[in-house]
Amino acid sequence: MIGIVLDNISRLDLNLLVTLDVLLDELNVTKAAKRLNLSQPSVSVQLAKLRDYFNDPLLVSNSRGMTPTLKAEQLRQPMKEAIAHLHEVVLPTAEFDPERAKQRWRIAAYDYGEATVMLPLLPALRAQAPLSELSIVQLPPTQIYEKAERGEIDLAINVVSNSHLNLHHRTLFSDQYVLAARKGHRLLNGPVSLDIFCQLEHVMVSPDGDGFWGETDEVLKALGLKRNVVLSVPHFLFLKAILETTDLVAMLPSRIAMMSDLIQIVSVPIQVPDFTISMLWHERVHRDPAHQWLRKQILLAVT
DNA sequence: AAGGATGAGATTGAGAGTCA
DNA sequence: TGACTCTCAATCTCATCCTT
């Protein structure tokens, strides 16, 4: 089996993968040739070899240029990753120069991570790496490993869970849930008993939008109690706005609650476990100087 | 007209053979 | 064993044809 694989690879000039990568970017043999510093006929011959190797036309002509085949589309991402790995292997590791670098980072973070990590990070990032770009995407925690492995994200800000065991991670900070409500709330002018806590109308965050059950409810269940959750929203920052303008209350991460002058924190007679926010990244970018620099900036921003 | 494909000839580099 | 030469395959460019 291994012999068959090696035979197949030995038939393939790895430079052809670089050519195919550029061809799929440009969808034009002449433009690809210019980028590769080759003549158009050379690239045409290389395309013919690729077609023979993959037994597929890869690019087909149409009235507006060339269109990639399904096979070419399927090859595109794994090929980019393979080329990136090859670069890591053969190129000497250069120092990262943030001032000159045109780096593009892709970070997965929900609004809590945006508010507590990305917001403090941005001023330093813009000042020190003015030519670089940052893209923040929202991603379910279960997809972080897969996307990081495929190179679709570089870093994630999240709670470490079982699905992240194969990723590197570094703890950023811990946070605790506190009872938050607007200042001047008519029922919160004194100590809050468990009975009152359960009678209050709660709003909670459920990023996937289908949850009326959280850590707080687990704690209450163990005490034989149940709170009154009337609203579930996908974002902490939307929840903050709700608390500022209604009599709803919420168990909110303290860092979010303290961001608003209109919200008060009320002590409650239950203890919900703290949670820890970490940054997570794949082995793929572990030794990359640009990514090492970014991770250092994040640590500096939150500590 | 623009862009891809192809044929002819030139160049390059690896491997084999020879010789001191 | 190292230096040199020869051969041949791979790959390049140029010119030109073909297709859309």
Query: Residue A5 above 50 pLDDT?
Result: no
Bases on strand C under 7 Å from any protein CB: 10-15, 19-20
Same domain? For A117 and A261 the reply is no
Query: What pLDDT does A6 receive?
Result: 43
Which band of pLDDT confidence, cut at 50, 70 and 90, is reported for residue A4?
very low
Residue from A165, A203, A177 nearest A112 by CA: A177
What is the domain-level CATH number for residue A41? 1.10.10.10
Query: A246 beta carbon < 7 A from strand B?
Result: no
User: In terms of pLDDT, which residue wins out, A134 or A50?
Assistant: A134
What is the domain-level CATH number for residue A144? 3.40.190.10
Per-residue b/e over A16-27, b at no fewer than 16 CB within 10 Å?
A: bbebbbbbbebb
Query: A41 beta carbon < 7 A from strand B?
Result: yes
Same domain? For A85 and A169 the reply is no
Nearest-nucleotide field for A46 (CA, C1'): C11
Q: Choose one of A90, A116, A131: the last residue of a domain.
A: A90
Which band of pLDDT confidence, cut at 50, 70 and 90, is reported for residue A210?
low
Through-space separation of residue A13 CA and nucleotide C5 C1' in angstroms: 29
User: In terms of pLDDT, which residue wins out, A279 or A53?
Assistant: A279
Nearest-nucleotide field for A51 (CA, C1'): B5
Nearest-nucleotide field for A64 (CA, C1'): C20
Same domain? For A62 and A124 the reply is no
Residues 6+ apart with CB under 8 A from A103: A96, A129, A132, A133, A290, A294
Through-space separation of residue A28 CA and nucleotide C13 C1' in angstroms: 19
Query: A162 beta carbon < 7 A from strand C?
Result: no
**Mean pLDDT to the nearest integer, A223-250:** 89
Query: A61 beta carbon < 7 A from strand C?
Result: yes
Which band of pLDDT confidence, cut at 50, 70 and 90, is reported for residue A8?
low
Which band of pLDDT confidence, cut at 50, 70 and 90, is reported for residue A126?
very high
Q: Residue A15 falls within a domain, yes or no? A: yes
User: In terms of pLDDT, which residue wins out, A201 or A57?
Assistant: A201
Same domain? For A85 and A155 the reply is no
Query: A14 beta carbon < 7 A from strand B?
Result: no
Per-residue b/e over A258-270, b at no fewer than 16 CB within 10 Å?
A: ebbeebbebebeb
Q: Residue A157 falls within a domain, yes or no? A: yes
The 10s digit of each residue's pLDDT in A128-187 is: 999 999 999 988 888 898 888 878 899 999 988 877 877 889 999 999 988 999 988 877
Query: A42 beta carbon < 7 A from strand B?
Result: no
Query: What pLDDT does A109 receive?
Result: 93
Give the Cα separation of A223 and A133 in Å (integer). 49
**H/E run at residue A66:** strand A65-68
Query: A44 beta carbon < 7 A from strand C?
Result: no
The string of DSSP codes covering A231-244 is: EEES-HHHHHHHHH
What is chain A's length? Answer: 303
pTM: 0.59
Same domain? For A165 and A285 the reply is yes
Same domain? For A165 and A283 the reply is yes
The 10s digit of each residue's pLDDT in A83-109 is: 777 766 666 556 788 998 888 899 999
Query: A67 beta carbon < 7 A from strand B?
Result: no
Please give the residue range of the domain that contains residue A189. Answer: 177-273
Q: Residue A95 falls within a domain, yes or no? A: no
Q: A24-38, A78-92, A232-246: which has the minimum mean pLDDT?
A: A78-92
Beta bridge partners of A108: A137, A156
**Mean pLDDT to the nearest integer, A54-82:** 76
The 10s digit of each residue's pLDDT in A109-119 is: 988 899 999 99
Query: A233 beta carbon < 7 A from strand C?
Result: no
Q: Residue A97 falls within a domain, yes or no? A: no
Q: How many domains does chain A have?
A: 3
- Considering chain A, what is the average pLDDT of its residues? 83
Which band of pLDDT confidence, cut at 50, 70 and 90, is reported for residue A22?
confident
**Mean pLDDT to the nearest integer, A264-290:** 87
Q: Residue A96 falls within a domain, yes or no? A: no
Query: A219 beta carbon < 7 A from strand C?
Result: no
Query: What pLDDT does A2 receive?
Result: 38
Same domain? For A20 and A86 the reply is yes
Query: A45 beta carbon < 7 A from strand C?
Result: yes
Bases on strand B under 7 Å from any protein CB: 3-8
Q: Strands A155-158, A275-281: parallel, antiparallel or unpaired by DSSP?
A: antiparallel
Query: Residue A10 above 70 pLDDT?
Result: no
